[in-house]
Amino acid sequence: MDAPEAETHENHEPERWWQIRELQLAAVAAVLLAVGWWLSSTGAERVGDGLVLASAVVGAASFVPGTLRNLLRRRRVGVGTLMTIAAIGAVALGQVTEAAMLGVLFSIAEGLEHYAIARTRRGLRALLGLVPPTASVLRDGVEVQLAPDDIVVGDRMVLRPGERAATDGVIWAGRTNLDLSAITGESMPVEAGAGDVVHAGAINGGGAIEVEVTARASDSSLARIVHIVEEAQDRKGGGQRLADRIARPLVPAIMVLAALIAGIGAVVGDPLVWLERALVVLVAASPCALAISIPLTVVAAVGAASKQGALVKGGAALEELGRIGTVALDKTGTLTRNAPQVVEVLPTGDATSTGVLATAAALEARSEHPLARAILAAADSGQPAIDVTAVPGHGLTGRVDGSSVRLGKPGWIDPGPLAHDVERLQQAGATVVLIEQDDVVLGAIAVRDELRPEAPEVIGRLSGLGISTAMVTGDNTRTATALATQAGIGTVHAELLPEDKAALLSELRNGRRIAMVGDGVNDAPALATADVGIAMGAMGTDVAIETADVALMGEDLRHLPQVLAHARHARRVMLQNVGLSLAIIGVLIPLAAFGVLGLATVVFVHEAAEVLIILNAIRAARTTSLPEVTTALPSTPQPLSLTVAGPSKQNGSGCCDAC
C-alpha cells in the first residue's frame, strides 16, 4: 500500500483515529455516498448521482495524488496504481457507486494502516517524554532550572525524591534507589550510591542526590534507545523481503493479466463486459494486504519489545528470534550477577591471608576484569607489580619486591598441598586462582560469582518453550558444573576462550537456529557468529548494543524467555497475515475473471480482509509484564553433558579470561 510517507515520519503523529486524513476523507465520502443513495431512492436522481460522484472523488483523494506523484517522480507502479485505474475505469463504465465504495473502503484501510504505525511510533517516542521539561543544575554554587538541551557534560544535576533524571550521569553525592521500570521493564528499584551510573528517565526513589552529567540529553541512553529502535523498525526481515519479492512483480503482472482479459474478452465476447471484469481483477489481485502484512507486524512487535526493555534490531532479528531452538548462555554476567566476591583465602607455610591477597592485587592492579576487581576490593591497597605479562589462557607473571610471582589457574600452577582444597572450592562453584612466589605456592584465592536468583526459573521457561539450553564458559569444569546444576542446565562446555565459544556454536545448533546470550564485549565473536546475538544488561553500553541483534537493557534474565516468546508470537502473526493475503488473492482472481463477483463485492471482501490483517498485525504488540522474581530451584536437575576445551589459543589477557 502506498501510504503517505511524509505523514508516517512526522515528529507529531496523530493521537486519535479521527485525526487521520485518510479516515477523515473516508468519513466524508461515506456520508456523501449515503446521502446520494437516499436522494436517488426518493426520486432526486440527478442530485443523488452528483453526490455519489462527489463521494468517489473525495474517496479517491486519499490515494490518487500519491499514486500520480509516484508515477511521475519515481516511475514506480504500486498498489495505488491498480486502485486508481480501477476507480477511473469504474466511473468511465458508469459504475460510479462501485467506484465510490472502492474509495471509501480503500481510504479506511489506508487510514488504519497509518494509525497503527503512528500509534507504535508515538508509543516509542513517549520514552522521550520520560525526560522532565526542566532540571535543577548547580552552576557556580547556585541552583538553576535549565531545559534538558541546555545541560552540558560536567554539570551537576540535583535530583530530589520523585524526580526524573534529564540525562545520563554518575552519582557525585548521596545514596538512593532508582526506579528504571520505564526503561528496562523491571519493577524492582536499584540501590545506587556515589560512583553509580544514573540513566536518563530514571526516577529517584530515595534521598536527594547530586549527579555529574556524562552525556548531553540528545546523546543520552534514552535518546539512543529511541534512535536505534526507530532505525530497527525500518530494517526489513526475511519475511518482509519475501512479501516485497512477491508484491513488486505482482503489480505489473496483474496489469498485464487485466489487459489480457480485456483484450481476449473483446475478441470472444462483449468488450464492455470483459473490460469491466478486467477492472474487477485489478482490484481483486491488488496485493495491498500482502505489502503491509510484515512491515506493520514488525513495527508493532519491535515497538512493544522496546517498552519491555528489549531492543530488537528490526524485522530480520525479530524473525530469526522467533525461530530459535537452542540458546547458549555465557556464565559470568549472564547466568551470574557479575559481582564476584572473594569467599576464601588459603595461605601455605608462613604466608598469611593478607600477604596472599596483597601479592595477587599487585598483579591485578591494572585489570578491569570482574575477578580482578573482587581481589582488589578484598585486598589492602599497595604498589602494583612491575614487568607484568599476560600469558594467554593461563595467567599473569610479574615482579613484586624483587621476587618473581605468578597468578593463574590450577594446572598452570601446581596447587601442591592445596590440591584438595582447590577441588573442594571448585565443586562448590568457586573460581580458584593460585599465587606462586619464586616457584613456591604462596596460596589460593577463591572467588565466587553467585547465580542470579531467577536463573532456574528462566531455564524452566525456556524448556517450556521447547528451547534447549547450554552453558558456554571459560571457567573451570567443576565451577561450571556446580552452577549449571543449580540453574538446571544439562549441557556445559567449559574452559573455553572467546574464539572457542564462537567455533562451538555450529556444533550446538544441531539443525536448529541458535542464539548466544552474553555481555556483548568478551562474547563479541560468539554474538556475531550466532543466528541471533543477545546482549545482557546492555543499558548504556554502546558496544553491547552495536554487537548484538537483540539487547536486553535490564539485569533481569527473565527478559530472555519473555522476548523469545514475544518474537514467536510476532512470527506467527506474520505467517498468518502472509497466508491470508495470498489466499484472498488466489480466491478472488478467478471469481472476478469469470464474472462470479462484481466490483462492489470484490472491493468489500478485499478491503475487509485488509482491515482484518491490520488488526491482526497490531496483535504483535501484545506483551506481558514480568512477575516478581522467584528463587525456586528446578525440582529435577537435568543430567549434565560436559565438554572441556582443548589447548589454549594464543590470544587472551590472562587467567581471568577463564571466566
HEC profile of 176-220: EEEECHHHHCCCCCEEECCCCEECCCCEECCCCEEEEECCCHHHC
Place of cell 465504495: 101
Number of residues assigned to the chain: 659
Give the integer Cα–Cα distance in Å for 35 and 643.
77
Burial class (CB in 10 A: 0-12, 13-18, 19+), 182: middle
| Contact yes or no for 623/308 (Cβ under 8 A) | yes
Give the integer Cα–Cα distance in Å for 240 and 532.
18
- What letter represents residue 96's amino acid? V
Give the integer Cα–Cα distance in Å for 644 and 604.
64
Instruction: Catalytic residue, from 2, 155, 330, 531: name it.
Output: 330
**What count of other Cβ atoms lies within 10 Å of the Cβ of residue 92?**
12
Determine which helix (DSSP H) or strand (DSSP E) holds 395, and give its type and residue range.
Answer: strand 395-400
**What count of other Cβ atoms lies within 10 Å of the Cβ of residue 266?**
15
Instruction: Give the closest residue to 241 by CA, choosing from 302, 315, 313.
Output: 315
Give the integer Cα–Cα distance in Å for 616 and 317.
20
509 contact partners, CB below 8 Å, separation of at least 6:
326, 531
What is the chain's Cα-based Rg?
Answer: 32
HEC profile of 622-639: CCCCCCCCCCCCCCCCCC
Query: Which residues are registered as beta bridge partners of 551?
Result: 311, 535
Give the integer Cα–Cα distance in Å for 103 and 247.
21
Give the integer Cα–Cα distance in Å for 22 and 61.
9
Give the integer Cα–Cα distance in Å for 502 and 496.
10
Is residue 330 part of the annotated active site? The answer reads yes
- For residue 539 the three cell numbers come to 543499558
| Contact yes or no for 227/282 (Cβ under 8 A) | no
Active site amino acids: 330
